[in-house]
Amino acid sequence: MEMAPAVVPFFLPARPAGHAGYIQGVSNFIDSPPATAKRPRKARGASAPNPAAANAAAASFAALTSRLDYLGQSDIEKVRLAYKFADEAHLGQIRASGEPYITHPIAVAAQCAEWKLDAQALMAALLHDALEDCGVTKAELIERFGAPVAELVDGLTKLDKLHFNTREENQAESFRKMLLAMARDVRVILIKLADRSHNMRTLSNVPRDKWARISSETLEIYAPIAHRLGLNQIYRELQDLSFTYLHPWRNATLTKAVEKARSRRRDLIQKVHTEVEDAFTKAGMSVRIAGREKSVFSIYRKMILKHLTFAQVTDIYGFRLIVPTLSDCYTALGILHQLYKPVPGRFKDHIAIAKVNGYQSLHTTLVGPSGVNVEFQMRTEAMNLVAESGVAAHWLYKASAPDQATTESLGNQWLQSLLDIQRETGDAAEFWDHVKVDLFPDAVYVFTPRSQIMSLPRGATVVDFAYSIHSDVGDRTVAARINGEQVPLRTELKNGDVVEVVTASISRPNPAWLSFVRTGRARSKIRHHLKTLASAESEVFGKKLLAQALRAEGIEHFPEDETAYQSVWDRLLRFTGNRNRAELLTDIGLGKRISTIVAKRLVSLLAEEKGEKPDALLLTRERFTADPSSKQGVVTLDGSENASVHYSTCCRPIPGDPIVGYLGRGEGLVVHTRSCPVAAKLQSKDSERFIDVEWSDEPTRPFETEILVSVINGKGVLARVAAALAAAESDITHIHMGQEAAHDASDLRFVIAVRDRAHLDSALRNLRRTASVLRVQRV
């Protein structure tokens, strides 16, 4: 079944009145109707088809055959066999409209034929409901039509089973399955979009109580995917049809307003067309002029976003000029600017800088007759094909000129990034969080120092730019310059910025970056790096804990050599249920397993397999020197442990404090002060999870602690307190002043970084000597 055209020539015969939906054209703008639609769950009856219905189905296939002239005879025969199989499979099934069910697969295949998809895709379109509805097995499809067709049908069947609620927490997993199916073979989503388009065109046959859900799902999920892949015809049609069923009254009102405006401006539009045609004839330039009318949904969205009345929307009508070559686009621009005056700031060159979905065109807005603004778009036939068909243009090109593969990469970069994000993301909601921004691209264009153009979503930051170049560049970013000036990494990029990233080999991604990065690629790369880093550090820490636990059991050397101790480790892994040694050590480091229990089992296995007995002297020495309250060995801390060790924020321990370590389940080692009430509570419940920890003689970094400063309110008090802390060489990392109104005295809470307790005491003494400070204490 044919879709409403995106661009139509002038003087087309008018269609019957009362149509609502996608609008295009100039003298007779077309409005395609929401005719008839299939139910979300296919409605079918048990009645046998009559001869008339069979004839109707056959006639439909005859109409499809007329569109297959781009295929070879053998491919057409394959499609015919798929049609016969589908017709037999759907025998007796009736649509909600009363038509034989086979008319729906025929309509979907017809849309795919409009995109010139290959024979496999057309066969899959005809068979797309056979697996789910007709009891046909995948093995049967493989035997009859081959594995590629069966895989396409299987992918479509899985998509049909997805049920979206348009709430993020519920749709995330389903959305991930659909996007990944699309990433593996884009034909899956092309057939699915053709299927959804036919459903929306025939939605009027579905009970009214289902209109809102189906239309919302289409508007929020399928239309953005069509846009992201450059399928602008389908994108606009899905939007307008969804709007028709979501807001019937608003749609009817706007449609009437557009019809009135069209009749009022008919003469004006005809005059512009004639003048433009004459100008290009005088210039001796071949051009095809087509009219463009803004769709009803686009007008509605613009009115809502910009708070405009209908009368204030000035770009409802426009013209599209299709020219032979790329250079002719710029020549046409010059001819138009000589004919009418351009509106300042309304010229866009999407040829030199293409949109993220591959769209290319020159846009300019001119002051036409009677002072009315008219938009013109200049593009070649190839650009027009890509603008309307997007990623499907690849097959259109192959059908017309097999040597042209310029559109093959359209959308591929984004599709490949979906697979990259999936590999680095375990959680469905996290995956959805990464890709939802990329589905609604509002691009900003910036330059590298070598003048390469980069396209990023609006709101993207320097870190997003760094990750778009390469993940290694993003991971090692330490600073940036925009237009030669040093800027923070969270700075948002603007059109035309020249961005230079400064990297350092020792730099690592900062978890704080997740609060401001905009692209899914950057977010997934940062999270993946942090998870990998935490896992590696936990493995090292787990090995350290297990080695200490083995010493406590009388084993001097850790069984490092995997070859020599292969059988020992295999039996130990079967005992613990881990897949490999690295996973077991990581679990110990994260506190998911107790090192003493694993060590006891390992000691018994060493005795059984290798005859290695505990060293009695070492065993005696370890037990004699061990703290009786500790269940495991002593761990020395110097601040370099990163993700494997956490310093509790309830008591904020610093070097010099007596401390204990708690192996939380999956949290790694959490360090508390011995006097911490939280630690005391945990010790009463999980004493076996506590280990002895001690400070290194030379900590590698400062540690945070919290202090409470009571001050007399007055001008400059905060500055004096900050100066006293600075004089003590202590950094302020956080200040909290409370929400209550100011009184004669106020409490200020500071989180400060100090080297140890002696350094903290020095800072507190400085504060006590400061004027206006009443009291200072550590929290």
Residues labelled catalytic: 132-133
Measured at the alpha carbon of residue 347, what is the angle toward residues 342 and 353, in degrees to the nearest 5? Answer: 160
> β-strands 348-349, 317-323: how paired?
unpaired
Closest C-alpha to 194, from 173, 164, 225, 169 = 225
Name the helix (H) or strand (E) containing 550: helix 520-552
CB 356 within 8 A of CB 195: no
CB 181 within 8 A of CB 158: yes
CA 711 to centroid of chain Cα atoms: 49
Distance set, CA 743 to CA 229, 702, 750, 773 (Å): 61, 34, 19, 14
Provide the total of helices (H) and of strands (E) in the chain, helices listed first. 30, 23
Closest C-alpha to 651, from 662, 637, 663 = 662
Look at the alpha carbons of 295, 297, 303, 306 in this order and tell me if their dihedral is positive or negative: negative
Tokens representing residue 148 in the block: 């590629």
CB 69 within 8 A of CB 119: no
Cα 256 from Cα 694, distance rounded (Å)? 79
Cα 594 from Cα 542, distance rounded (Å)? 10
Residue with tokens 């409370």: 738
Cα 225 from Cα 193, distance rounded (Å)? 9
Per DSSP, the three-state class of 313 is: coil
Please give the torsion angle defined by the CA atoms of residues 327, 330, 333 and 335, in that order, rounded to the nearest 10 degrees. -60
CB 541 within 8 A of CB 668: yes
Distance set, CA 448 to CA 6, 83, 426, 482, 484 (Å): 36, 52, 33, 10, 12
CB 421 within 8 A of CB 434: yes
Cα 191 from Cα 467, distance rounded (Å)? 33
Residue 754 β-bridge partners? 703
CA 48 to centroid of chain Cα atoms: 47
Cα 379 from Cα 385, distance rounded (Å)? 10
CB 519 within 8 A of CB 468: yes
Residue with tokens 């005088």: 282
Cα 597 from Cα 119, distance rounded (Å)? 62
Residue with tokens 């509002």: 442
Cα 88 from Cα 61, distance rounded (Å)? 14
